[in-house]
Structure 1
Amino acid sequence: MKLADKYKQVRLQTTTFCNHLNIEDYAIQVVLFASPPKWHLAHTTWFFETFILKKYVADYTEFNSDFNFLFNSYYNNVGNRILQANRGNMSRPSTNEIFEYRAYVDAKMIAFLKNLSDEKIIDLVTLGLNHEEQHQELLVTDVKYMFGHNPIFPVFNTDYNLVKDKNTDTKNIQIPAGIYEIGHQGKDFCYDNELGVHKVYLNDFEIDNHLVTNGDFIEFMESGAYSNFNLWLDEGWTWVNKNNIKTPLYWHKIDGEWHSYTLAGLKKVDEDAILSHINYYEANAFAEWKRMRLPTEFEWEIAASQLDWGKRWEWTNSAYLPYPKFKKENGAVGEYNGKFMSNKMVLRGASVATSQKHSRSTYRNFFNPTERWQFTGIRLAK
């Protein structure tokens, strides 16, 4: 596919999802980590304007000089920005103006891409498209958080019950001890945090080819696990008690039956469906309860070719740290991954909200261990 066609496809996918929103939905920020839809639409556009058009198009006229301040996310090299907590405090610029911004930048980008041959710039555009695909997933999860905390649990779209999928294979996979190569190989796109192919030694281990189900987790809950400090890491136990956590995110007991909020509305919990929306502390406590453990990210990567994966982001027992020979790019692009290698845990795989073909077996996702608004799940090892 030509780069201009790929650009148009990715940008259309973002706006198509938003077609199900009402105008009032675009500016709402329910919580610090979940940005308003309007901000996602503008920020992904700002990326192309800032890193491509303003840098490589000599006669480019900036759409709005305030937008660099409003829609820069965390790139200190690019200038000052609003606080993340204030992304939902903007009734202006209007949503209509944000769509005008997207149309303006898209027209300039498509014209620029038609005759583009510089491999360095092509790589930067490709990074921007993958960046937008990340925000497509964040749009899904942020909108779900917004609607899931609305007291009437509104339906976003009847086709968006994304937590109904089930395991297709329940076998266990045995991996022998040995020295294995870790990291991305090949010339196709990957992020810088996947590079630096290196060897690791793994002891022999067993890993489940299935993910933990809702029914499995109900047993965990009914055993009194959320009040059993013996199962929890110390910081996890503090998190449970400080926030009075009793269930996975979006779960509600109504007339004696468990229900969960989905983007298709409130639904009864299907005990055979795959568990979703738990954090690292909950995943670790469940593994402790089962007298098993979470796999390391290296174990997961080596087993990936034999695993049925892609339905949930899977917590690993690995901290998000640089690979050997990891090197940050100079300037703003170097802020993309490396500066977050602290106090995060690695998740592997992909989820039902991940853009098609966006992930790969070497992909290293990372979140704070308290966070659970993504479509996260549990795979056990021993």
Structure 2
Amino acid sequence: MTLLTETATERPATLLDDYRRVRRFSERLAETLSPEDATLQSMTSASPTKWHLAHTTWFFETFLLRESIDYAPFDPVFQTLFNSYYNTVGVPYPRDKRGLLSRPSLEMTLDYRRSVDEHVERLLSADDLSDEQRRVMVLGLHHEQQHQELIVTDIKHALAHNPLDPIYREGAFRLGVAPKLEWLERDGGVRPIGHDGEGFGFDCEGPRHDALLRPHRLATRPVSCGEYLEFMKDRGYETPQLWLSDGWHAVQTEGWRAPLYWRDEGDGEWTAFTAAGRQTIDPAAPVCHVSYFEADAYARWAGARLPLEEELETATESLPMEGDFADTLIDAGWALHPQPLAAAERGLAQPFGAVWEWTASPFTAYPGYRPPDGALGEYNGKFMCNQFVLRGGSVATPSGHLRATYRNFFPATARWQFSGVRLAR
């Protein structure tokens, strides 16, 4: 599902095609869920599928359609219910109470989407969008793709609380290999990083600027489940010297002894809850659902460190944007779960679309960064505190959404995303 429209000068027909494709994929991700499933909220950081479907619709209605003098909102109350954090356009409904919204129903939510879609498609077909409207449209499409990933991660977290181990979406698991981990030598020097303004990029990806890199080495592939099991067997979760202070506190208070969704079945056997049900751990698959603290502790145990975001960006900027993405996996019948390599690869393996790779870089503004004017200026800038950058995307990321400059970010304790580890030295 490649997102073709990347500039404000693309033909409206291309933008319309992209709009339809992105919107339909969100509904495809929800098609296996019951109305009860779609209302679940398992923690404050996650949201119900129904809310994601409505919020992404609210985005187009609020920032595009409400500017049209002939548009009447589908329901004025939705302006509050499905606002996430845009305080300049209203008072959002409390984030931790989204799971209490049994009304509107899933059926009405889908009606809301259809109604807004009709208006947006009519606007696109008229071929009279301003450059600013087109920029909002493209931002809205990438915003919806972000929520497509959240639909997968959030419903997985919710269903994992059910002792029946319910299946979100059927899929096969690829048999593969975890070739010997090797190191790629990378030169140091002053290198430009960040989005250059050509095509789409979120505001936090720029401006482009020079970064000083030290000579370093990057691991040829992400850390595997088998390697992480060795860390666990070596009492990694019981060795305070490996952990940052806040990380050790989290281990003690949260009782972490393994990645999220793993379960000790006894006699050395471990299973993990996946989107396709509970499965025996595949030692060749990339480890996922680990926090920054766990990734950092593992790196220390392995005699390495986490990479800096500029090291990953410069290593991947010339690589093709290929990998296991949500839509490609679904189309091929594979499970929405990190799959092992089908065969050993030369160079940097699985740089995109396997697991989000934690970096040692805090999520802060690049030199010269200024948030956009208006309500959309709340998109990224106000979250530049107490978060770490992740790179590369995951199996829950839709294709066409990523760039080498893409900066994802989460708190150091976050585990419900498909986050993994690539080592550096």
Q: TM-score, normalised by structure 2?
A: 0.87
For the residue of structure 1 that corresponds to 2:211, the secondary structure is strand
Counterpart check, 1:243 vs 2:254: yes
Give the number of equivalent residue pairs: 380
Residue 164 of structure 1, CA deviation: 7.4
Change in Cα spacing, 1:164 to 1:130, as seen in structure 2 (3 Å) is farther
Residue 166 of structure 1, CA deviation: 5.5
Give ranges in structure 2 of 5+ residues lacking alignment.
5-13, 319-346
Counterpart check, 1:366 vs 2:386: no
For the residue of structure 2 that corresponds to 1:123, the secondary structure is helix
Residue 272 of structure 1, CA deviation: 1.1
Tell me the alpha carbon deviations over residues 140-199 of structure 1, each in whole angstroms, 9 at most, x when there is no partner.
0001111111111111222176x9776578442111121111111252101111111111
Q: Contact (CA 8 Å) 1:116, 1:122: kept in 2 or not? A: no
For the residue of structure 2 that corresponds to 1:26, the secondary structure is helix
Distance in 2 between residues matched to 1:160 and 1:190, nearest whole Å: 33
Higher deviation after alignment, 132-141 or 17-26: 17-26
Residue 52 of structure 1, CA deviation: 0.1
Whichever residue aligns with residue 41 of structure 1, its letter is L
Q: Contact (CA 8 Å) 2:123, 2:129: kept in 1 or not? A: no
Q: Contact (CA 8 Å) 1:41, 1:98: kept in 2 or not? A: yes
* Residue aligning to 2:91: 80
* Residue aligning to 1:152: 164
* Residue aligning to 1:221: 232
Change in Cα spacing, 1:325 to 1:166, as seen in structure 2 (3 Å) is farther
Residue 224 of structure 1, CA deviation: 0.6
Tell me the alpha carbon deviations over residues 235-285 of structure 1, each in whole angstroms, 9 at most, x when there is no partner.
000000001110100001124310001111100001111101001000000
Given candidates 109, 121, 142, the residue that maps to 1:98 is: 109
Counterpart check, 1:349 vs 2:392: yes
Distance in 2 between residues matched to 1:83 and 1:322, nearest whole Å: 27
For the residue of structure 2 that corresponds to 1:88, the secondary structure is helix
Give ranges in structure 1 of 5+ residues lacking alignment.
none
Higher deviation after alignment, 288-297 or 301-310: 301-310
Q: Contact (CA 8 Å) 1:160, 1:263: kept in 2 or not? A: no
* Residue aligning to 1:307: 348
Q: Percent same amino acid at aligned positions?
A: 42
* Residue aligning to 1:139: 151
- Equivalences for residues 8-47 of structure 1 within 5 A: 8-47=20-59
Q: TM-score, normalised by structure 1?
A: 0.97
Tell me the alpha carbon deviations over residues 51-97 of structure 1, each in whole angstroms, 9 at most, x when there is no partner.
00001x11100000110110000001011111110000011111111
Distance in 2 between residues matched to 1:167 and 1:45, nearest whole Å: 41
Distance in 2 between residues matched to 1:200 and 1:54, nearest whole Å: 41
Q: Contact (CA 8 Å) 1:166, 1:274: kept in 2 or not? A: no
Distance in 2 between residues matched to 1:95 and 1:19, nearest whole Å: 11
Higher deviation after alignment, 152-161 or 105-114: 152-161
- Equivalences for residues 202-221 of structure 1 within 5 A: 202-221=213-232
Whichever residue aligns with residue 221 of structure 2, its letter is H
